């Protein structure tokens, strides 16, 4: 008779590339930690999610609820996930399996996202290295909205600027800003898991603690941490409805010559956001797109 404790269930689900961060968020909320995403060599628009679960703890009802929770994440994008697979497997070394799927990830002209356990490949030695623990929170650099933000920072480095990161996730944008010459960063998020992840990822990179601050909260924490001057730049890679909710307060924290980089937007939401911010005295400097995602750069209408 087999020992049920020595068997696991491996859940496999093909997902569209743009849903990766949403799945991170969902699995973290469900306190599921043994999972990984693997690129599909024959299809760059999808990834495969693997979750390992102890068989003895997962009834049919629990499995149905998990599938339902994940399927709901596709609804805002009018997508339907293909059928998933449940496979019984023997006990394995989860840490090794999870880590083997991660590779160094170059972004823009000068940034390299490097999983913390990997050595730096010689061919990337000239890049600015951002070391991350990719499993700790959404925001690994693979999502198009995150890549748009990092590329925007890379194209126009925030040298000497005071930078706010609203909805910091894993801290990747704050760390990128410092790597590209920012004077200091203040990172906030309403998710305590994201705060822990950001602090952990900062510890993996060689920055003085005087250069960065991380707080649990939202835009009110950024306002509370304005000392002698407002922020020169705010990074905001969150969903459009949340941006609209917080947008009227941007003036309180951004200086008269400051800029805001908005991402996490679908392309068809860009005009809607432009129209929303115009009455508040903001104008669009630039719009960039990647796949079905858009990034908007705002500045005060009075600043030319």
Show the tokens assigned to 7: 């068997």
Residues 199-210 have a mean pLDDT of: 93
Residues 117-127 have a mean pLDDT of: 93
* Separation of alpha carbons 293 and 263, rounded Å: 8
Q: Which residue has the tokens 């952990």?
A: 200
Backbone torsions φ then ψ of 36, nearest 5 degrees: -155, 160
For residue 131, give the nearest of 140, 144, 122 by alpha carbon.
Answer: 140
* Separation of alpha carbons 47 and 41, rounded Å: 9
Each residue of 274-284: pLDDT tens digit? 999 999 999 99
* Separation of alpha carbons 178 and 160, rounded Å: 9
Which residues on adjacent β-strands are paired with residue 106? Answer: 112
Report CA 106 to chain centroid distance, whole Å. Answer: 16
Decide if 129 contacts 114 (C-beta within 8 A): yes
For residue 28, give the nearest of 139, 157, 155 by alpha carbon.
Answer: 139
Instruction: Set out the domains of the chain in order of their start, with CATH numbers.
Output: 4-99 (3.30.70.120), 143-300 (3.40.50.150)
pLDDT of residue 213: 96
Residues 263-268 have a mean pLDDT of: 89
- Taking each continuous run of H as one helix and of E as one strand, the counts in the chain are 10, 14
Backbone torsions φ then ψ of 38, nearest 5 degrees: -120, 130
Each residue of 61-95: pLDDT tens digit? 999 999 999 999 888 888 889 999 998 887 665 55
Residue 146 has pLDDT above 70, yes or no: yes
Q: Which residue has the tokens 């269930």?
A: 9
The pLDDT-based confidence of 218 (bands split at 50, 70, 90) is very high
Give the sign of the dihedral formed by CA 29, CA 35, CA 36, CA 40.
Answer: negative
Range in 113-117, 174-178, 259-263, 290-294 with the lowest mean pLDDT: 290-294
pLDDT of residue 1: 41
The pLDDT-based confidence of 34 (bands split at 50, 70, 90) is confident
Range in 100-104, 146-150, 225-229 with the lowest mean pLDDT: 100-104
Residues 23-51 have a mean pLDDT of: 78
Show the tokens assigned to 273: 């956001």
pLDDT of residue 5: 47
Measure the CA dihedral 224/229/233/236, to 10°: 10
What is the rounded average pLDDT for all residues in the chain? 88
* Separation of alpha carbons 14 and 94, rounded Å: 20
Backbone torsions φ then ψ of 74, nearest 5 degrees: -85, -15
Residue 9 has pLDDT above 70, yes or no: yes
Q: Where are the alpha helices (DSSP H) in the chain?
A: 20-29, 60-72, 94-99, 144-155, 172-179, 192-203, 219-224, 240-246, 250-253, 270-277
């Amino acid at each position: 008779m087999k020992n049920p404790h020595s068997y696991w269930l491996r859940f496999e689900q093909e997902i569209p590339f743009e849903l990766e961060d949403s799945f991170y968020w969902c699995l973290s909320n469900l306190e599921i930690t043994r999972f990984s995403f693997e690129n599909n060599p024959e299809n760059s628009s999808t990834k495969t999610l693997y979750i390992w679960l102890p068989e003895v703890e997962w009834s049919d009802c629990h499995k149905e609820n998990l599938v339902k929770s994940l399927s709901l994440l596709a609804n805002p994008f009018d997508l339907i996930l293909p059928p998933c697979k449940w496979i019984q497997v023997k006990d394995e070394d989860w840490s090794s399996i999870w880590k083997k799927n991660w590779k160094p990830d170059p972004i823009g002209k000068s940034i390299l996202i490097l999983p913390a356990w990997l050595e730096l490949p010689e061919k990337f030695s000239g890049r600015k290295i951002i070391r991350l623990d990719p499993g700790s929170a959404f925001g690994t650099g693979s999502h198009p909205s995150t890549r748009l933000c990092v590329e925007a920072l890379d194209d126009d480095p925030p040298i000497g600027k005071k930078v706010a990161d609203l909805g910091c996730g894993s801290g990747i944008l704050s760390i990128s800003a410092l790597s590209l010459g920012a004077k200091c960063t203040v990172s906030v998020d309403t998710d305590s898991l994201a705060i822990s992840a950001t602090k952990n990822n900062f510890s993996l990179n060689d920055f003085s603690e005087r250069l960065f601050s991380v707080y649990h909260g939202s835009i009110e924490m950024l306002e509370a941490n304005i000392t002698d001057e407002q922020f020169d730049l705010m990074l905001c890679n969150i969903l459009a409805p949340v941006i609209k909710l917080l947008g009227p307060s941007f003036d309180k924290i951004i200086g008269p010559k400051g800029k805001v980089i908005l991402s996490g937007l679908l392309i068809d939401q860009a005009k809607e956001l432009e129209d929303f911010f115009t009455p508040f005295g903001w104008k669009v400097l630039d719009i960039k797109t990647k796949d079905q995602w858009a990034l908007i750069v705002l500045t005060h209408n009075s600043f030319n």
